[in-house]
Structure formats: structure tokens, C-alpha cells
Amino acid sequence: MSLDTVKNAESTPDQEQPYKELGLKDDEYARIREILGRRPTDAELAMYSVMWSEHCSYKSSKVHLKYFGETTTDEMREKMLAGIGENAGVVDIGDGWAITFKVESHNHPSYVEPYQGAATGVGGIVRDILAMGARPLAVMDPLRFGPADAPDTRRVLPGIVAGVGGYGNCLGLPNIGGEVVFDESYAGNPLVNALCVGAMRVEDLHLAHASGAGNKIILYGARTGLDGIGGVSVLASETFDDTAGKRKKLPSVQVGDPFTEKVLIECSLELFRQKLVVGIQDLGGAGLSCATSELASAGDGGMRVQLDRVPLRASGMTPAEVLSSESQERMCAVVRPEDVDAFMAVCAKWDVIATEIGEVTEGDRLVITWHDEVVVDVPPRTVAHEGPVYHRPIERPADQDALQADTPDRLPKPAREELLDLIKTMAASPNLASRQWVTQQYDRYVRGGTVLAQPADSGMIRIDEETHRGVALSTDCNGRYTKLDPYTGAKLALAEAYRNVATTGATPVAVTNCLNFGSPEDPAVMWQFEQAVKGLADGCAELGIPVTGGNVSFYNQTGATAILPTPVVGVLGVIDDVRRRIPTGIGAEAGETLLLLGETHEEFGGSEWAHVVHGHLGGLPPEVDLAREKLLAEVLVAGSRDGMLSAAHDLAEGGLAQALVETCLIGETGARVFLEGDLFTELFSESAGRVLVAVPRTEELRFTDMCTARGLPWRKVGVVDPESQALEVQGLGELSLAELREAWEGTLPALFD
């Protein structure tokens, strides 16, 4: 086997290279040759091809994502310590605490191998948070699957759930929320998004950069193997003889080792505490290619790496393979020479393998050697940041008008005497049924800081045991709304996550997102994408909270059919005293009144009712009024601070009926409800901007006066009835909590046990 060195590349300019198989276009390959002034070596080609992939370079989305920056004002930026461009966004939440959080996708690997795909998805996002210098504190998992009763969902869902749990539980990170959504469009392409949130003292923020010539580059954590480098195997087949070629059946699947990651976390935090780290970068997608080029281009010099020093798990790996390996549970640190011994000692204490693989140099090149031969010599920015940028064609889908014109008005509405049964049918439908089958597999208690977890509108953790300061997080997206109108749909996703956070008593302060879409080469998908980004950014500007980071996942489709556009939005909120949290279930106080905040209109476009009862998707999504959402949030936060609310639950899919069922079942307490007007609309409409609150009778006047004074519409809709053990809707009849529980909790176990 011959090594493709830079020297070799210079002397063999015409050697054919499999750049197409590696996903590079003709002009991209030409551009690489132009940058280098020669053909790239195998190792360089491996680096460029993976770093210039859609996943790493954001080549189709970049021009649109810029809009987030353009719409973020200085005022919105005030509390933001790090934003788009860093591993994860960082927000100052007061008392000297900084919070970092981010959501990422691991969709495709999770379809191939559900358990490991989901597990390594969690592992990856946790390392992103760690790389900011923070202690990871909790995870969430927004998931999307094909129809609940499809045979393949039976394969995929249990594996993904077990993988999320298997990894997160073993890391000791409480799972405080997420989503489980079923829709036909995800049948061949489930979505596994994973969010992690961490905390640090403001002064401990670590940013990824390699500065200071002479500083050492240390790779620590797991050994590097042949994981996840399926693509690069085309290089191997060129340079390997037949016998070796056989070994090169490279897996595209990575296997996670959460134990190694747990130790890596504790080891890293100890390194941070002892101030032994100048810069740090996690190894995720694109492995060392990404870590070395990103560290080098963010620093003030060049970098030299002795790649043959990387501890390997497999024999006979080529430089291209070592650079491309996506072996999990690895980190790369920049360390002052005088700190190297201390660094190694901490790693030894934790039994973590650590190897000095290079150093920061004067100059501006990233030079990588393999047994003293130069195999990479590139300007690092061209790898990490100066990839191709595409202005993909954009076109509003031809059938968008027809879709919007096909409103739910034509659907037969249920008769009055069918409504009670409909409440039960809806509660038992896969998208509204209890998620307990899933969440029971996740540890929500570990670390002892979980104040709210499933089932709750948002997850909440205590950050400071002395002051009781904490944060709340919610992720949301209704892909059907986004399909009907991507601009409004993205705003609705934001509005819901925002409302969920406020519903638990926290003040929303920042946003992250994971934009899951179909192929960017489809102009209709690009239109959805552009609209969604605009909607989200405009929405954030209206609410005055910044997007601090996110992730884009394209090519989510089965054949030519794209998934529902799914911009998952995560909102972070702050609460000064978690003891003031508002729970979801009623019955905490004797004598509570139920109030509905906000206004109900007849809005059934994209609704769960249209989906469950008629299999219909058409019309327009509910209207969104962000000024109203803001007011609603302020009222909820004030209500929490002044102890006026004993329970609150946000109205979303399934409308008021579903909110009532849930608040009763979670609180194990009955209620009597009196509604006016068209009962079907009252119960099942999905108008945005609404929250059901329970107010202790003694606080009722004070609270409603506040709503009136501030101009927030409210209506008394019922009373809590601790005696009844039933949900009674006046004029319709009652449903016992036992039968509701059976309906709500029975669905997922029946499907997946």
C-alpha cells in the first residue's frame, strides 16, 4: 500500500480521484485544486469532502440562516454570551450562572440502527454542551415516527426509545421532556432530535479555538476505530489490495459507549476546574477532520498534527480513515506546554486515554503528518468555513394553493351527543395519548434537580441549590401546520414552546432549533425552508428573544416524498425560584376555579381532530398573535410569582378537551366544566394563545382583575371537583377518570408492549 503524500500529489497531478463517490461536485473538486494549487491527497480529499458535505458546511442553508443574525437586535443579544457559530449558544441567566443548550438531529443513523443511532445522537449533543465548558444537566428528545400501527414503527420506535434511555440514563442525565409525534410522512424517515442543556459559572465559558504557538493538541477519550466512515471506503478500495479490501467492509454505524462518555465528562470538568484547558472541541460528525480544522481556523496560528499518534482500535487504518472516523466519546483540547503533565494526571485518574497529537504553530497552515510524511497541508479555514455556498432554486409548491383551499369546513362535524365519546377517542389517539410508555424508560430523577419533567408543559431543573434559581425548557413543532403554511407554522412552533415555558412560571429568554426538512435540491422544500426560517426569525424578533444556535437536517424523505417540514423549536426560560413552579395537574389546593385565558375561534386546519377523524390535512393553520403570546406569558409569570396559580396547562393539539383530560388525570382530580357557544369548537378547536389555569378561590378576583387590567381575555370555564373523580361537561354528561385513564394510558402499551 502506498501513502498518498503531498509530495506524491504534486508529482501526480493527473491521478484520478473518486471525488464524486465522496459527494463532491465537479466545481467543488476544481475549487479544492485551486485552493491547494495541486490535486488533494487522499487524506485532504477525505477532509474536504466530509467538511463540505451538507451536514457540516450548511451549503444550502447558510444563505437563509444569515437571516437569524440580521433580525437579532443588540437588545436581544444582551444576555447572549455565545451564539450562532459556536458549538452551542450560551445565555446569562443571572446570579453568575450561564446556561448553554442546543438541539441536534440524528435522523438517518437512527433509521438504519435505531438503538445505536439514537444513543449516539444523545452522546453527540452532550459533548457539544461539554465543549462549552459546562456541566451537562439534562436532555430532551423530540421524536417523529411513521404511523403508530405501522409494522416498521414497531421496529424503530422501541429501539430509538431504548437507545435514548440507554445512553442518557447511563450518563446520569435526567430526561426532562421531548416529543413523540406520529405521521405517515416519517414512515421511512423517523426524526431523532436530541437536546442537551448545561450550566457553568459565567467566567468558565470555554470557546473552541487553538491559539498560542507552542500549545499542545491533546486527543483524549476513546480510541479511534472504523466507525461511521462508510463513505471514505472508496478511497480505501483504491489504495488497498484485495485481502485488505475485504477488511474494509466499513460500518456506517457507530456504537456508543455511555460509560466512557460519563467518565469523559467528569474528567473534562476536572480539567476545566483546574484551568488546564485553553481551547476545547468535541469530536462529532467528521471526527478529527472537523476538530482539527475548526480549532485551527478559530485560533490565531496554524497547527501541526502527527496523525500516526492517534490511538487506534483497528489495525491498518489509513490517514484518510483516521481523519474521517466518527468514533464516539472523544474530545480534543489545546493545552499549554507547562500544563501537559497535570492534564495527563487528571486523565490517568479517570482512566481516560490521552495523547499529545500535535501543537499550535506559527503561520496559518494545518499540516498533518503520517510517520513524518506530510499528508495534509491546507489553509484550515478553507476546510472548516469556506465551503461552497449554494443559492438553491426556490419555488412555492404548485399544489400549495389547492392544499390551503381544501379547508376543514367541508368535513362533517360531530353531533352534540357524539362529543363526549369524541373526547375519549381523541385522548386515546396516538398523538394525544399518554407518553408514559416512552418516558418510563427515562431516568428523570438523577442529579436531584428535576422540578418538572414529563408530563408537564416544560421540563424544569434547579440550577442553584442555594438560591433556587432554575431553568425551564420546551421543544415543539406541529409539522402539519408548517406544511399548510411554513411561515406561520414556524411561528406557531415558537409560540407553543414559548407558551409552554411560561405556563410553568418561567420567563422565556432564548431559542434553539433543529430544522428537519426534505431534499434541498427540491425547490418546493427550499421554499418551505426559507419560509420557516423567516417565520421563526421574525417571531423571535417580535418576542424579543434570540436564536442562539441550532442545526439543519436535510434529505429527510422517502423516495421523492419529503417529510412534513419540521422546524423543531426549543425555548429556554428562567425562573428565579423553582419553588414557584406551576404544576400541570389540578387538585393541589382545596377549591380551585378553572379559567381559560385567551380566545377560541373555529380553527381546524391541520388539527388533530381533522387528522384522527377524517385523515384530512388542508386549509390554513391557526392564526398566531405573538404580542398576545407575550402578554399571556407575562400574566402567567406574574401569577406564578405572586402565588395566584395552583395549576396551568397549555392548550395545543386536541384543544381544550385534551387539556382538561390531562390536567384531571395528572392531578388525579375531577372537574366540572361549563361552556358556551358551539361546544365542538369550544372543545376541539386549536386556536393558539390559550392556557387553562386553576386559581385558588381566594386568589380568583385578584387574578382576573389583573387579566382584565392588562387586556388579556379570560373566561371562567369550570371548577375543580375533588369529590367527583370524573370530568363533567355540563350539557353533555360525564366521563369517569378511570375510563379516561384507560383510554389515555392504554394506547402506547397496546401498540408497543
Partner 1 sequence: MARVVVDVMPKPEILDPQGQAVANALPRLGFDGIASVRQGKHFELEVADDVDDATLAKIAETFLANPVIEDWVVRRVDA
Partner 2 sequence: MKVGVITFPGTLDDVDAARAVRYAGGEAVSLWHADHDLKGVDAVIVPGGFSYGDYLRCGAIARFAPVMQEVVEAANKGMPVLGICNGFQILCEAHLLPGALIRNHKLHFVCRDQWLKVENNETAWTTRYDKGAEVLVPLKSGEGGYQADDETLKELEGEGRVVFRYVGDNPNGSRNGIAGITSANGRVVGLMPHPEHAIDALTGPTDDGLGMFLSLLDAVVSA
Ligand X SMILES: Nc1ncnc2c1ncn2[C@@H]1O[C@H](COP(=O)(O)OP(=O)(O)O)[C@@H](O)[C@H]1O
Kindly list the residues in this chain that would bind partner 1 in the complex (CB under 8 A). Answer: 112-113, 116, 222, 225-227, 247, 249-251, 253-255, 257, 259-260, 313-314, 327-328, 351
Question: 162 contacts which partner out of partner 2, Mg ion, partner 1, none, CB within 5 to 8 A by kind?
Answer: partner 2
- Which grid cell is 384? 472548516
Does the footprint of partner 2 cover residue 753 (CB under 8 A)? yes
Least Å distance, CB 159 to ligand X, is 24
Q: Closest CB to partner 2 among 54 and 329?
A: 329
- Which grid cell is 462? 434547579
Burial of 275 (0-12, 13-18, 19+ CB in 10 A): exposed
Does the footprint of ligand X cover residue 326 (CB under 6 A)? no
Which of 106, 611, 616, 649 is flagged as catalytic? 106
Which residues are CB-contacts of 484 (< 8 A; sequence separation ≥ 6)?
A: 403, 404, 605, 606, 617, 618, 619, 620, 621
- Candidate list 139, 547, 637, 666; residue touching ligand X; CB under 6 A: 547
Task: List beta partners, residue 749.
Answer: none
Strands of 277-386, DSSP E: 279-282, 302-306, 330-335, 354-361, 366-370, 373-378
Phi first, then psi: what are they for 683, rounded to 5°?
Answer: -85, -40
Which of positions 552-571 make contact with ligand X (CB under 6 A)? Answer: 552
Residue 568, amino acid: V
Least Å distance, CB 614 to ligand X, is 33
Residue nearest to Mg ion (CB): 87
Least Å distance, CB 338 to ligand X, is 29
Binding piece for ligand X, criterion CB under 6 A, among 29-37, 431-439, 547-555, 711-719 = 547-555
Q: What angle do CA 256, 257, 259 make, to 5 degrees?
A: 150
Least Å distance, CB 509 to ligand X, is 16
- Candidate list 328, 551, 600, 687; residue touching ligand X; CB under 6 A: 551
Pairwise CA distance, residues 210 & 688, whole Å: 47
Pairwise CA distance, residues 291 & 133, whole Å: 16
Which residues are CB-contacts of 624 (< 8 A; sequence separation ≥ 6)?
A: 488, 491, 492, 495, 539, 688, 689
Binding piece for partner 2, criterion CB under 8 A, among 121-129, 438-446, 484-492, 739-747 = 438-446
Question: 313 contacts which partner out of Mg ion, ligand X, partner 1, none, CB within 5 to 8 A by kind?
Answer: partner 1
- Which grid cell is 649? 396547562
CA atoms within 13 A on the CB side of 19: 22
Question: 128 contacts which partner out of partner 2, ligand X, partner 1, none, CB within 5 to 8 A by kind?
Answer: ligand X
Pairwise CA distance, residues 49 & 323, whole Å: 11
Binding piece for Mg ion, criterion CB under 5 A, among 128-136, 147-155, 303-311, 398-406 = 128-136
Q: What share of the chain is helix, strand, coil (3-state, %, to 5)?
A: 40, 25, 35
Does the footprint of Mg ion cover residue 128 (CB under 5 A)? yes
- How many helices and strands, by DSSP H and E, does the chain display? 28, 28
- Candidate list 53, 72, 87, 110; residue touching ligand X; CB under 6 A: 87
Binding piece for ligand X, criterion CB under 6 A, among 80-88, 136-144, 164-172, 518-526 = 80-88
Question: 593 contacts which partner out of Mg ion, ligand X, partner 2, none, CB within 5 to 8 A by kind?
Answer: none
Does the footprint of partner 2 cover residue 469 (CB under 8 A)? no
Which of positions 334-353 make contact with partner 2 (CB under 8 A)? Answer: 350-351
Least Å distance, CB 105 to ligand X, is 9
- Which grid cell is 271? 480539567
What string marks each residue from 159 to 178 as x (binds partner 2 by CB under 8 A) or -?
---x--xx--xxxx------
Active site residue 108: no
Does the footprint of ligand X cover residue 85 (CB under 6 A)? yes
Phi first, then psi: what are they for 105, rounded to 5°?
Answer: -100, 150
> Which DSSP state fits 339?
G
Which of 55, 209, 611, 649 is flagged as catalytic? 55
Which of positions 659-688 make contact with partner 2 (CB under 8 A)? Answer: none
Does the footprint of ligand X cover residue 549 (CB under 6 A)? yes
Put the strands of the sheet holding 354-361 in their side by side order.
279-282, 330-335, 216-221, 354-361, 302-306, 366-370, 373-378
Least Å distance, CB 108 to Mg ion, is 18
Please say whether the dihedral angle defined by the alpha carbons of residues 285, 288, 289 and 291, taken in this order, is positive or negative. Answer: positive
Active site residue 106: yes
Binding piece for Mg ion, criterion CB under 5 A, among 126-134, 197-205, 389-397, 711-719 = 126-134
Question: 676 contacts which partner out of partner 1, partner 2, Mg ion, none, CB within 5 to 8 A by kind?
Answer: none
Q: Put residue 7 in one of left, alpha, beta given phi > 0 → left and psi -120 to 50 → alpha.
A: alpha
Does the footprint of partner 2 cover residue 440 (CB under 8 A)? yes
- Candidate list 43, 65, 250, 463; residue touching ligand X; CB under 6 A: 65
Q: Which residues of 140-166 are buried (b: 16+ CB within 10 A; e: fewer)?
A: bbbbbbbebebeebeebbbbbbebbbb
Contact in structure between 32 and 40 (CB atoms under 8 Å): yes
Does the footprint of partner 2 cover residue 372 (CB under 8 A)? no
Q: Closest CB to partner 2 among 450 and 474?
A: 450
What string marks each residue from 674 to 713 as x (binds Mg ion by CB under 5 A) or -?
----------------------------------------
Put the strands of the sheet holding 175-182 in their side by side order.
80-82, 89-94, 97-105, 191-201, 135-145, 175-182
Does the footprint of Mg ion cover residue 107 (CB under 5 A)? no
- Which grid cell is 144? 417523529
Task: List beta partners, residue 369.
Answer: 306, 374
- Candidate list 142, 256, 284, 302; residue touching ligand X; CB under 6 A: 284
What string marks each residue from 500 to 529 as x (binds ligand X by CB under 6 A) or -?
-------------x-x--------------
Work out the end-to-end distance of the chain between its first and last CA atoms, rounded to an integer number of angstroms.
Answer: 52
Pairwise CA distance, residues 173 & 126, whole Å: 9
Question: 439 contacts which partner out of partner 2, ligand X, partner 1, none, CB within 5 to 8 A by kind?
Answer: partner 2
Q: Closest CB to partner 2 among 189 and 454?
A: 454
Least Å distance, CB 73 to partner 1, is 46
**Bridge pairing between strands 726-729 and 670-673:** parallel
Does the footprint of partner 2 cover residue 458 (CB under 8 A)? no
Least Å distance, CB 321 to partner 1, is 11
Least Å distance, CB 734 to ligand X, is 46
The site for partner 2 (CB under 8 A) is made up of 162, 165-166, 169-172, 257-260, 262-263, 266, 350-351, 439-451, 462, 465, 578-579, 753
The site for ligand X (CB under 6 A) is made up of 65, 68, 84-87, 128, 284, 513, 515, 547, 549-552
Q: Which of the residues are catalytic?
A: 55, 106
The site for Mg ion (CB under 5 A) is made up of 87, 128
